[in-house]
Amino acid sequence: MPEENTPEPLTGPVLELAKLRAGLAAGLTVEQSQRLQGADETALTADATSFAAELNPTPQGPRSGGDRGPDAGSGTGRGTVGAGVAAYRAKHGLDENGNRPAPKPLPTGGRNPFVEPSYTRS
């Protein structure tokens, strides 16, 4: 009878080394390689490649708006630095030089508003 060549199950430190080799070959870290399951090198290699594929999925299609986002360089002026500066100035009431407008003077009627009222005339 011909003898079948079945791989012997790995155990102990040999199994840990095989997990590390299979994981690093698939692009996994040492911590991720320790989670691999299998009794021989082929099972560990298959588990490592499927685990790496789950962690780093391939993109399904083109991204909406490209890699830079939907409003970057859209031609409408949105998404530029100048548009952001103009929006900030409009929100905070600043002029083109970044200064706030001069406050309006308070009406005092020509008298000192900090004088305490008294009943005596001086």
pLDDT for the residue 122: 57
51-33-36 Cα angle (round to 5): 60
pLDDT for the residue 62: 65
Model-level pTM?
Answer: 0.44
User: How many CB atoms within 10 Å of residue 21?
Assistant: 15
pLDDT by position in tens, the chain (length 122): 455 666 677 788 888 999 999 999 998 899 998 889 888 889 999 999 999 888 877 766 666 655 555 555 555 556 678 888 888 888 988 888 888 888 888 776 777 777 777 776 65
At 7, list the tokens.
Answer: 């791989």
pLDDT for the residue 114: 79
Q: Please give the single-letter amino acid code of residue 9.
A: P
Q: How far apart are CA 90 and CA 88, in angstroms?
A: 5
How many CA atoms are closer than 13 Å to the CA of 16, on its beta-carbon side? 4
User: How many CB atoms within 10 Å of residue 36?
Assistant: 23
